[in-house]
Amino acid sequence: MSHSPAVLITGASSGIGATYAERFAQRGHDLVLVARDKVRLEALAARLRQEHDITVNVLQADLTQPVDLATVEARLRDDARIGVLINNAGANHTGNFVEQTPESIEQLVALNITSLTRLAHAIIPRLVQAGEGAIVNIGSVVGLAPELGFTLYGATKAFVQFLSQGLSLELSSKGVYVQAVLPAATRTEIWERSGIDINTLPEVMEVGDLVDAALVGFDRREGVTIPPLHDAASWDAFQAARQGVLGGLRQAQVAERYRNL
């Protein structure tokens, strides 16, 4: 693998993904841009080729469609130039869980969980063999907060965080870096797409600031990067509390409070 590996970015036609494309182009990386909107991808690719003298390929894919997903998986498996996967494509749904249709549940899980997981699974064997490479999974602070009311979306993002932390434990000793990025509200089209007026939100981060901060975490090889979290020690305390819960488990014995007295 080259020391400036190509980067495959899903959801590269807008928002966070398009900004990652811009930033990796500035760093001189070749790119593979994935999303459904081929016109937007081609326009971004043409501009980045011209401005940065890099190779940019466009791969049109609806990641909820098995045939398209398999095409992107094959690209990740077979194209030895690709050393970084930015697993960014995702969507949000408004409304309570009971208001979702079976179809909308299926779609959200297919995009936010199944495609992200399968794309990571497709590239990992090659990265492990090379002993280098990186996977960036875009989660959300909503995955930490059932209180926020985006129950299904938050559950998909909690999955992304868990998967990333688990993969990091499995792969770091093999030279493969895995990062979970947890944005809070960021100015992109996701809000309009899911029927929420961004102007009703009290605070919004600009997308360039979000991606630049995520890349600071990337360069430091941080496992979980939360750009809007100002008190880093609170994350460490959260992880320590989780370890404390694990330390309090006694597998063979029911806890006192559940015993019939």
Binding mask 142-181 for ligand NAP (x = CB under 6 A): ----------------------------------------
Beta carbon nearer to ligand NAP, 29 or 157: 157
Sole window of 47-55, 60-68, 144-152, 171-179 interacting with ligand NAP (rule: CB under 6 A): 60-68
109 binds ligand NAP (CB under 6 A): no
Near ligand NAP by CB under 6 A: residue from 7, 86, 89, 215: 89
185 binds ligand NAP (CB under 6 A): yes
Near ligand NAP by CB under 6 A: residue from 188, 218, 224, 225: 188
Q: At what angle do helices 116-130 and 151-171 cross, to 10 degrees?
A: 10
Q: How many residues of this chain interact with ligand NAP, rule: CB under 6 A?
A: 29
138 binds ligand NAP (CB under 6 A): yes
Near ligand NAP by CB under 6 A: residue from 8, 48, 54, 111: 111
Near ligand NAP by CB under 6 A: residue from 85, 88, 136, 180: 88
Q: Measured from the CB of residue 109, what is the shortest distance to ligand NAP in angstroms? A: 12
- In the sheet with 177-181, reading across from the earlier edge strand, the strands are 56-60, 31-35, 6-10, 82-87, 134-138, 177-181, 224-225
Q: Measured from the CB of residue 188, what is the shortest distance to ligand NAP in angstroms? A: 3
85 binds ligand NAP (CB under 6 A): no
Contact 180, 161 (CB under 8 A): yes
Burial 132-161 (b: 16+ CB within 10 A, else e): bbbbbbbbbbbbbeeeeebebbbbbbbbbb
Sole window of 51-59, 94-102, 188-196, 212-220 interacting with ligand NAP (rule: CB under 6 A): 188-196
Asked about 258 being catalytic, the answer comes back as no
Which residues would be at the binding site for ligand NAP (CB under 6 A)?
Answer: 11-17, 35-37, 61-64, 88-92, 111, 138, 140, 183, 185-186, 188-190, 193
Catalytic positions, please? 153
